Structure 1
Amino acid sequence: MKRRLLGLALAASSLVAGPASAACEEILHLADRYIVCTYDPARETIRVYGVPDGSSEALTYGAVRDLLRQDREFLVFGMNGGMYHPGYGPVGLLVEYGRERHPLNRDAGEGNFFLKPNGVFYVGKGTAGVMETEAFAKARPEVQFASQSGPMLVVDGRIHPRFLANSDSLYVRNGVGILPDGRVAFAISRGVVRFHDFATLFRDALGCRNALFLDGSISSLYAPEVRRNDRFAHMGTVIAVAGGLPY
């Protein structure tokens, strides 16, 4: 009888958890700690959300949760997904549900976004990728969701050429990379780190040949598995992993 009750309890918990089960862990790299969460785009629902058309209000994780509930889904994981202008409009490419809401930005400028090479995180049908902007413009892969940011952290296995191993620019940073098996790895530092060290996390510790910086000043995370809910974060773009609610 006890075994039967245990089996029923496990079945019920799997319904609540949904198909996307978070896989977050803390990693120590070069004396700094990072939270790394990995998801398989072939099995789990990864999306990019921007501020709704006509709105100048920032996105929050609470707003994304409310949006998902309309389709009987829940938020498994969330991370700020790229840079934005005042008014929270995207600086670069934004694609939602196959619709290009903002075009690819190949301009020159000031700030991290324009520290070339920059790049694009994208999700297709059962796949995901990180690609340098000019390569993305040439290949034009078919995507369902995409967000452009910059700079690239790792390009084809090489650290961004502008990063300095002894830089004194220290911030909490977050980014995204693609693991050798195709899973998506999202990482955020526990404390302040330099670009170079953050990039080596993706290349050397995670084995990513391509990785993209998402932000530093507003780095945030929603990951109940590790008890993180940065509910006061205000964002222009959110990368979310969604799970289905039981009927």
Structure 2
Amino acid sequence: MFSLLASLTGCSQTAQAVDSNELVFESQSFRVVSIALDRQPLSLHWKDPDNGQAYGDIDSLRQWGEARGKRLLFAANAGIYDRQFAPLGLYVENGKTLVSLNMARGNPASGNFSLLPNGVFAVYPDGHAAVRTSSDFKADGKPAQWATQSGPMLLIDGQINNQFVDDSASLKWRSGVCAKTPHEAVFAVSEAPVNFHTFARLFRDQIGCRDALYLDGTISQFYVDGDGYTGAPTFMVKPYAGIFAVFAQP
């Protein structure tokens, strides 16, 4: 079993700041990043609090942090958003709900968010994380410190989303997240186009998650300090809404 906590030979101090590994699964390459939430607090960022303008891309967030003496260790786009570059579903930033939970049922042909069930990745005030279907998150009624709603769910209680087709020819760069344990969030992005079924199997069979959430597709990129960007080619990336981030702790 692949160990996300295993150190790599020759890793730099930068790479050790967050556990970042390139992984080959079923002849496909992925970047997998594990965040120990008790040591590397994860946060969400949409707009610069000083001017209300959306960061739009990871590099803008990195520069914002540098101007305040904060070193960006990891970043990833947070999930599905609309044509106005606002989150399409629930978005909670530092305990404040900026966009409400979206329980609308849509046409799957209109986008991945409508390929049900969709779900929520949340980090709670006590520091633990979870991936829940949107309906289960609503039923729980627990306030989150940080949360994003996206979709579809990749895994639900260890089962691959039954909307996925094993040999589907729908191939895209894809990113997703799970809470492998309550205090370990694991992010993955493909380094080449893959289908949903393969991506879900990565989380279940290789990473070892029971619940996992799809974040986004063709535009998805990760940034890891010292390693740079991975995921979709830069020329395909468009402005983001929310961005996950881990900044170095003082």
Structure 2 unmatched ranges of 5 or more: 1-11
Of 32, 35, 42, which residue of structure 1 is paired with 2:38?
A: 42
Q: Residue type of the partner of 1:75?
A: L
Partner in structure 2 of residue 3 of structure 1? none
Structure 1 unmatched ranges of 5 or more: 1-12
CA distance in 2: counterparts of 1:231 and 1:75, whole angstroms:
19
Partner in structure 1 of residue 121 of structure 2? 121
Question: Aligned residues, how many?
Answer: 230
CA distance in 2: counterparts of 1:56 and 1:244, whole angstroms:
25
CA distance in 2: counterparts of 1:184 and 1:206, whole angstroms:
11
Q: What does residue range 83-162 of structure 1 map to in structure 2 within 5 Å?
A: 83-109=80-106, 110-124=110-124, 125-162=126-163
Partner in structure 1 of residue 205 of structure 2? 204
Matched, 1:33 2:29: yes
Deviation string, structure 1 residues 73-96 (Cα, Å, up to 9, x no partner): 221000111111112111000001
Alpha-carbon distance, 1:51 to partner: 3.6
Give SS of 1:179's match: strand
Structure showing greater radius of gyration is 1
Matched, 1:68 2:68: no
- TM score, norm. by length of structure 2: 0.84
Question: CA 1:111/1:68 → structure 2, altered by over 3 Å: closer, same or farther?
Answer: same
Q: Residue type of the partner of 2:78?
A: G
Question: CA 1:197/1:231 → structure 2, altered by over 3 Å: closer, same or farther?
Answer: closer
CA distance in 1: counterparts of 2:183 and 2:201, whole angstroms:
19
CA distance in 2: counterparts of 1:99 and 1:198, whole angstroms:
31
Alpha-carbon distance, 1:142 to partner: 2.7
CA distance in 1: counterparts of 2:241 and 2:188, whole angstroms:
19
CA distance in 2: counterparts of 1:56 and 1:167, whole angstroms:
39
Structure 1, 193-202 or 174-183: larger mean CA deviation? 174-183
Question: CA 1:43/1:195 → structure 2, altered by over 3 Å: closer, same or farther?
Answer: same
Alpha-carbon distance, 1:65 to partner: 1.7
Q: Residue type of the partner of 2:179?
A: I
CA distance in 2: counterparts of 1:196 and 1:115, whole angstroms:
13
Q: Is the 2:179–2:209 Cα contact (8 Å) retained in structure 1?
A: yes
CA distance in 2: counterparts of 1:228 and 1:98, whole angstroms:
29
Deviation string, structure 1 residues 90-135 (Cα, Å, up to 9, x no partner): 1000001100000000001131011111001111232111111000
Alpha-carbon distance, 1:180 to partner: 3.9
Partner in structure 1 of residue 189 of structure 2? 188
CA distance in 2: counterparts of 1:158 and 1:75, whole angstroms:
34
